[in-house]
Chains A and B, each alone.
Chain A
Amino acid sequence: MGLSAYLTVGALLFLIGLVMVAARRNLIYVLMGLELILNAANLNLVAFNRFRPGGMEGHLDGQIGAIFVIILAAAEAAIALAIVLNVHSLFETIRPDDIDAMKD
């Protein structure tokens, strides 16, 4: 199993996440899409590090980057869920199409 298999999975994850972000009618799912995109990136990072030319001895840059992204994603999820809660209390909905107050 080579690198391309990991990259294919990562690309699929990214596409799924992207579609969820763009098309879902629920902010929670949008957030979930975001998580998928981040994890697609993590998978790429980890895979690229594993298949690094010259072996991965002594090099954990990809894994560390992935762990950072996971930490960020956790923090982001906390803040984003808080924002969603506030949006829901303000607009009484979490459909992204109905929330267009930023237009003007």
Chain B
Amino acid sequence: MLALALQHGAEAAGHAAVAGASAAEVFGPSTAAWLLAVPLLPLAAWVLQVCFGRFLPRQGDWLPTGALAAAAVIAIWHFVKVLSVGDPDFALAEAIDLPRWKFFFSDPGLTEGLAGFTAGILYDNVSAAILAMVALVSFLIHLFSTGYMQGDSRYNLFFSNLALFSFAMLALVISDNLLFFFVFWEIMGLCSYLLIGHLAADKEKPKMSAAWASMKAFMTTRIGDICLFIGMMMMFQAFGTLSFSELYQAVESHVAGNGGEWSPWLTGAGVMMFLGAVGKSAQFPLHVWLPDAMEGPTPVSAMIHAATMVSAGVYLTARLYLMLSPTAQLIVAIVGGFTAIFAATIGITQYDIKKVLAWSTISQLGYMICAIGAGGVAAGLFHLLTHAFFKACLFLGSGSVIHGCHHEQDMRQMGGLRKKMPLTYLSMLVSTLAISGVPLFAGYYSKDTIIAKTLERSMAEGSLVWSLPFYLLVAAAAITAFYMFRLIFMTFHGKPRAHCSEHAHESPWNMTLPLLVLGAFAVLGGKVWLLDPLHAVSGGQEPWFLRLVHDPHQFVDHAGAHHAHVTAMSASLAAAAAGILFACLFYLWKRLDPARVAAAFGGVYRLVYDKYRFDELYLATAVRGTMILSAFAAWVDKTFVDGVVNNVGRVMRGLGDASAATDLHVVDGAVNFVGEATVAAGQTVRRFQTGRIQQYAYFTFAGAVVLAAVVLFRVI
């Protein structure tokens, strides 16, 4: 995807293309099948797990875990192939024939224009790296879950949901068009909902807060998803395609045809699609769901809400980069930069070990988003990769701690766990060093590059607003180092502060092994001096990922880039050092008392501790507004819609009454009258029938007399 505009960047920065075997030789004709197997194996595992999981030994946990292991092996195997090609312009579709599937909306005869579209596999350096990362991290977290989730009442369903999630994420990474991307994106949203709410449906003790959290996450991300869909439809309306590569070309030619000017609606469409990433990656102002998502089991937090799903938003933003106008890029960068520092400040004040990590995740995602907005696509994706490893490690480490402390999550109850849980301590310490940006650890390289990219962009743009991201990120780096070491010191150092931490124990092998593997990646993920295959070939000084993936645009020349890099490195090192130093002063050496500092800041501290009261704000505005709107709608429904129905009913009833009255009085009246008249006539006439024949004789004679009179005197 980045290949299109990549050439400029590569030449401008003076990167020498790394020599390697040609892609067509390395990738055989069965590559497509192998790549499809990566998402389809977890899908198959999901189907089997849903249908038969309950009846299998160990409730079938080995099925998704095994599928993910196989997927990880395939993904890594192909990633190694990509590394051996070592071409920054590598795109599998250009090297070999990949199958493409054609879809039609209605009429198969129509193949032009809007009638249909094709979907295929997108496999380039970016997707290769992320696919391998996702598959590996997912496998490790499945493995961890086999230990952590022991005894859960819905153990089999947990694994089936994890497998479905893995399928969606893996398929998303290799989707070459926005529509399929969106489909998998939504499946992940569903899995996130199911897994956050996993404990809410626990058979022994349902956790209501988890139910609320899952609903909150689902509704909040839904806002972003709707925006993404609107943006997608705007692009489709304009260009008639949703394929990434075709969209890049269409946008490029549209902008070129417009005299190099970006139309405002393109900016709008870009921002709309980015809002999808804002929801999924928990960026300000849709960040509120992620901390609450920690109600889910810890492996879920690690996989979905730290390592993979939330980075789908970053991945989306990276794929969107070439469709973003400079204005949209600025918006992306500012949103990311603001989120980075905003979330970091909240991270300082939290006591729940998982909440600290959640805010840290939001902050780190802000870094990635900010980098991509500033043009550092490679830097953002690099951080996505390294962050996935060390954040997954931190979360699983916190899971191990929580498991060891009998499900205590409050750091004030912990302390001194270093000796009781040495493997957990080691891996978490390594990951903390990585996230804090300590040299030689993975996070240092990626974070350093991000900060350098924001500085480059601010140098190139020269405006005040473009210089904001750099300062925000450096400040956030210091805060990150501070709160992460606060977490380590509070949890592992000092003396146990409560019963639970005194009796903590190290977790079993299936929990510590993933920790150690992830910890190893946290050390080696950035720059592997001994194991880096590209380094041996090229002898370059850059981290492997930046040689593999190049930014689409270079904003400054080589000297400028060097200057920016040195400045950014110094700034981020100073920030990390300051952060760690203060953390030591507060929590290790106890020279400063955090309680007194908190008291000194009083109101500000409480505001930050309450997460700037955004939850309350949204409750008072968005949620309340929706409630009021729905109450209004209900009122309209009751008053007008029901009113119409009721009035129609009333009128009908009146008509019925009238009809009944007519029936009763007119129709029945006529019938009754005839009857009554007959009866009355009979009553009258019956008096003549006395039964006395002599009387009859009178009448007869009288009649005869009358007749005679009539005849004789012609009366009539």
Contacts and interface: CB of A to CB of B under 8 A. Distances in A.
A14 to B, nearest CB: 10
B694 A30 contact: yes
A100 B692 contact: yes
Contacts of B689: 102-103
B691 interface: yes
B355 to A, nearest CB: 104
B33 to A, nearest CB: 108
Nearest to A34: B697
A96 B692 contact: yes
A100 B687 CA distance: 13
A22 B696 CA distance: 9
A22 B691 contact: no
Contacts of B701: 18, 22
A38 interface: no
A99 B695 CA distance: 12
B690 A22 contact: no
B54 to A, nearest CB: 89
A100 B691 contact: yes
Interface residues of B, number: 9
A2 B694 CA distance: 35
B464 interface: no
Interface string B681-716: 000000001111110011001000000000000000
A22 to B, nearest CB: 5
Contact of A100 (B690, B697, B698): B690
B690 A96 contact: no
Contacts of A99: 691-693
B692 to A, nearest CB: 6
Contacts of A101: 691
Contacts of B691: 99-104
B694 A21 contact: yes
A97 B697 CA distance: 13
A23 interface: yes
B441 to A, nearest CB: 124
Interface in A71-104: 96-97, 99-104
Nearest to B696: A102
Which of A23, A97, A99 has its CB near the most chain B CB atoms (within 10 A)? Answer: A97
Contact of B692 (A21, A23, A97): A97
A24 to B, nearest CB: 8
A97 B691 CA distance: 9
A22 B691 CA distance: 14
Nearest to A24: B694
B705 to A, nearest CB: 11
A39 B512 CA distance: 146
A96 B693 CA distance: 7
A22 B698 contact: yes
A21 B700 CA distance: 12
A103 B697 CA distance: 15
B692 A22 contact: no
A22 B702 CA distance: 12
Contacts of B697: 21-22
Interface in A1-58: 18, 21-23, 30
Contacts of A97: 692, 694
A33 to B, nearest CB: 9
Contact of B694 (A23, A102, A103, A104): A23
B631 to A, nearest CB: 78
A7 to B, nearest CB: 15
Contacts of B693: 96, 99, 102
A103 B690 contact: yes
B120 to A, nearest CB: 105
B528 to A, nearest CB: 127
Interface in B216-248: none
Interface string B508-527: 00000000000000000000
Contacts of A22: 694, 697-698, 701
Contacts of A30: 694
B383 to A, nearest CB: 116
B626 to A, nearest CB: 85
Interface in B139-159: none
A21 B697 CA distance: 8
Contacts of B698: 22
Contacts of A18: 701
A19 to B, nearest CB: 10
A18 B694 CA distance: 10
Nearest to A21: B697
A18 B697 CA distance: 9
Contacts of A96: 692-694
Q: Among the interface residues A99, A100, A104, which one has the most CB atoms of the partner chain B within 10 A? A: A100
A10 to B, nearest CB: 16
Closest 8 CB pairs of A and B: A103-B691, A100-B691, A102-B691, A96-B694, A22-B697, A22-B694, A21-B697, A100-B692
17 contacts: A18-B701, A22-B697, A22-B701, A96-B692, A96-B693, A96-B694, A97-B692, A99-B691, A100-B691, A100-B692, A101-B691, A102-B689, A102-B691, A103-B689, A103-B690, A103-B691, A104-B691
